[in-house]
Amino acid sequence: MAVEVSTESQTAGGVPSGGGGEAAARAFVIDPSRSRWLSRIREAFGRRELLAMLVRRDVSVRYREAVLGVTWAVVVPAATLGVYWFVFDVVFQRQADDVPFVVFLFPAMLVWNYYHSSVGRAANSLAKDASLLSKVYFPRILLPLSNVISPLIDFSIGLVVLIALLVAYRYTPTIQIVWLPVFLVMGMGAATGMGMLMAALHAQFKDVQHFLPVMLHLWFFSSPVLYPASRVPENLQIFYAFNPMVTVCEGARFAVLGTDFPLAASTVLCGLASTLVLLIAGFTAFMRAEQTITDLL
Amino acid sequence: MSGSMISCKDVSKRYVLRQRTKGSRLMLGALYGGAKKLMGRADDDLDSQDVHWALRNVSFDVAPGEALGIIGRNGAGKSTLLKIISRLTLPTTGRVELAGRVGSMLEVGVGFKNELTGRENIGLSGAILGMPAKEIRVRTDEIIDFSGVRPFIDMPVKRYSSGMRIRLAFAVMATLEPEILLIDEVLSVGDAEFRRRSAARMEELIRGGRTVLFVSHNRDIVERLCDRAVELDRGHLVSIGATARVVEHYREMVQPDVETKAFATFDADAARPIRIRAAAILNRSGEVAEEIEIAESFRVRVSYDINEDLDNVNIFCRLETVDAVGVLCSGDADYDPACLGPRRRGAYSAEFEVDGGLLEAGAYRLTVSAGIPFQKVFDRCPAAVSFRLVDRSSRRRLWYPQTRPGFIAREYPWVYEGRSPWA
């Protein structure tokens, strides 16, 4: 019978305490009583050099080994695009709003791919670096955070493919392109929240690795990547709006293609609200799990 | 905690041992458990048997610049204590106050990535260990020189030999200069030359006015490097104070655990060309003895069968301490190479005598083997017999009540040139 060791205390904290005197001002207290979040955020911020290092590590480890190196970041989205082009443009002969389907698809697919890989990698980040976690202390939140940042490299490379695609189809982006970073930031917010939440869950429950891919798959089809949001029936729109990726995907399309913004203000507000809820939930869950991670892994 | 760098107050750590069969680590299981709890049928009340206290009410203070050694058997809670102080895990109750930046050397090679080059790994490992990027840049050359892997520094670490990897990792770690340093037995890595340098660096760090917590099984190193020591036993702090006193207490406490058996027999085995049949430790009067006074000589007796005519064989004894440090080896052909000649089949018995006053007090064990040197082992009885050398009568014992480090107990008379100071 396998015996596992885990700890009971769920919330706890270790934090620099204030107080008079030179030594006391620097005194650091480790006790199981409270989780002093504010100072832990401050601490994580103080280690941003490490965050940069972790991002660099992720990126170079990812591409150094492959023979074609960074080329893969171009080849993979281009190949996916090719598949979708074949299925939808050639087989189904589908036209979306007078725009060639690949052009319609690609902006949304870029942000979705970013979201997908961020959440997936962030969820796995603690398990992947378990040996690190058990040997040295650093603010653990840097691990999911670095995994939300590093897919931005793939995203930027994908942007190059996008530009090539637009040129090929003789599309000139309008000034609306400045909105792209705005929707990207929203996507990052959702990815950060979801990533932290999944990382915290994954530390405690091994079945996240089975459940997460299925969830992301369903989520993909619940987001307007392959189809415009307007195709969703009216009576489902209320639920649909709470998916932050609806706003992000349609927003990216709007920014790149220079079309009219297809969503109602209420939809965007719902998306923003659920992004915020995700961020808060993810952060809370992670902060609670953080202190006991070593005992759980 | 006025004045102390580390202050532990009533620190306890409880682990809950959970059986995987209950499925409590699966999310569905947790949901099910939660639902059951809601319905008032909670069945996961902690059974006292499922709880393990790794530490129980441990309190101590470490003054600035002091080096505190932590000793104890396996499972005594040493590592848990270091884990708590280095913030890897939280205490269940109690608190620790730290008055400075903590750096821990719990393992060599933390955060090394095989795909990255040596130089990149210096940056990464340094950042993980908490060095500012600027400092890493400034000290990179120094780190490379200390590690001695300069020709390979821009190669991926996976091409390194394990020795090179460890040297580079240690070199990064050795540049850490925190106010509080936690060290867990990482001293002996690499080849002899590097070991010497890393031990010197450790000593420099420990003696360099830093506050140090040092965990080791090696009592001699703790004695040499630490001012004070703490002894843990099954999670409890059992003694604290001057290192020599604590180490002595530990030695005494550990001793009853070493089982001694001064006489052992083994069944005949005709399939082996040589079979060792018995081994014994005999005292001066020729009796089997588990305890021998260090001043007195003792004899090692070995009986064996030769089942077929053989050439070039010898019978070999290796005497070692309980920590597996070899102390003395002797073969029955050492003294006279002619003994390597042909041996006829039959049952034999032989012994040799170890003179009194040679070996230091402590527990020893004896491994007996028979074979052709450099070629074959026909029979081997690891730790066949064990015994203890005790010191109740040596002259220094009268005024120096502790065991000294070392293996040799010889007392040497000091001879003064001309006038002696007592005259």
In this model, does residue B33 exceed pLDDT 70? no
Give the percent of chain A with pLDDT over 70: 86
pLDDT of A147 over the 60 cut: yes
A/B interface, count of CB pairs below 8 Å: 148
Name residues whose C-beta falls within 8 Å of residue B347's C-beta, 6 or more positions apart in sequence: B277, B303, B304, B305, B306
DSSP assignments along B386-399, one per residue: EEEEE-SS-HHHHH
Does the pTM surpass 0.80? The reply is no
Residue whose tokens read 């725009």: A99
pLDDT for A84 beyond 70: yes
Question: Which of B145-149, B213-217, B354-358 has the highest mean predicted lDDT (pLDDT)?
Answer: B354-358
B100 touches B145 (CB < 8 A):
no
Complex ipTM, two decimals? Answer: 0.76
Count CB-CB contacts under 10 A for residue A185.
12
Contact B203, B225 (CB under 8 A): yes
User: Quick one: pLDDT at residue B235?
Assistant: 87
Q: Is pLDDT at A93 greater than 90 in this prediction?
A: no
pLDDT of B247 above 90: no
Residue of A nearest to B85 (CA): A30
Q: Which residues contact A50 (CB under 8 A, 6 or more apart)?
A: A138, A142, B127, B128, B130
Contact status, residue B79 vs residue B64, Cβ threshold 8 Å:
no
The pLDDT value recorded for residue B45 is 46
**How many angstroms away from the CA of A284 is the closest CA of chain B?**
18
The secondary element (H helix, E strand) that includes residue B40 is none
**Six token digits for residue B338:** 């002619």
Contact list, A202 vs chain B (CB under 8 Å): none
Of A123, A39, A110, A33, the residue nearest A76 (C-alpha): A110
Tell me the pLDDT band of A17, cut-offs 50, 70 and 90. Answer: very low
Which contiguous run of DSSP H or E holds residue B218? none
Mutate to test the interface with A, among B9, B88, B129 (most CBs of A within 10 A): B88
* Residue among A82, A199, A183, A102 nearest A148 (CA): A199
Interface of A with B in 80-119 (CB under 8 A): none
At A46-69, the pLDDT tens digits run 888 899 999 988 888 877 766 666
In the sheet with B102-105, reading across from the earlier edge strand, the strands are B102-105, B180-184, B211-215, B67-72, B228-233, B236-242
Q: Dump strand ranges (E) for B106-255.
A: 180-184, 211-215, 228-233, 236-242
- Whether residue B97 and residue A27 make contact (CB cut-off 8 A), yes or no, is yes
Is residue B25 within 8 Å of residue B18, measured between CB atoms? yes
| Alpha-carbon gap, residue B416 to B79, rounded angstroms | 49
pLDDT tens, residue by residue, B10-22 = 999 888 776 444 4
Poorest-pLDDT segment among A138-147, A273-282, B68-77, B274-283: B68-77
Question: In this structure, are residues B114 and B158 in contact, taking their beta carbons and an 8 Å threshold?
Answer: yes
Mean pLDDT of B201-214: 82
Average pLDDT over residues B260-281: 92
Predicted local confidence at residue A22, as pLDDT: 37
Of A253-262, B56-65, B182-191, B308-317, the one with minimum mean pLDDT is B182-191
Q: How confident is the model at residue A7 (pLDDT cuts 50, 70, 90)?
A: very low
Q: Flag the least confident range among A26-30, B41-45, B76-80.
A: B41-45
Cβ pair A259, A230 in contact under 8 A: no
Residue B95 has pLDDT above 80, yes or no: yes
Please state the separation of Cα A215 from the chain's center in Å: 14
Residues A6, B98: C-beta atoms closer than 8 Å: no
Nearest to A29 among B20, B26, B95 (CB): B95
- The Cα–Cα gap between A148 and A123 comes to 10
Comparing B70-79, B197-206, B340-349, B361-370, the range with the smallest average pLDDT is B197-206
- The CA-CA-CA angle for residues B229, B200, B65, to 5°, reads 40
Residue B281 predicted with pLDDT over 90 = yes
Identify from A1, A8, A26, A30 which residue to disrupt to test chain B contact, counting B C-beta atoms within 10 A and taking the largest count.
Answer: A30
Q: Write down the pLDDT at residue A133.
A: 86
Contact B95 A30 (CB under 8 A): yes
Least CA distance to B84: which residue of chain A?
A30
Instruction: Specify burial of residue B219 (Cβ count, 10 A radius: 0-12, 13-18, 19+).
Output: buried
Q: How far apart are CA A288 and CA B6, in angstroms?
A: 26
Task: Quick: pLDDT tens for A224-274.
Answer: 988 888 888 888 888 888 999 999 999 999 999 888 888 888 899 999 999
- In sequence order, which residues have a C-beta less than 8 Å from that of residue B415 and are 6 or more positions away? none
How high is the mean pLDDT of chain B?
A: 83
Q: State the best of A1, A4, A141 to mutate against chain B, taking most chain B CBs within 10 Å.
A: A4
In terms of DSSP bridges, do strands A28-31 and A13-16 run parallel, antiparallel, or are they unpaired? antiparallel
Least confident of A101-110, B37-46, B87-96: B37-46
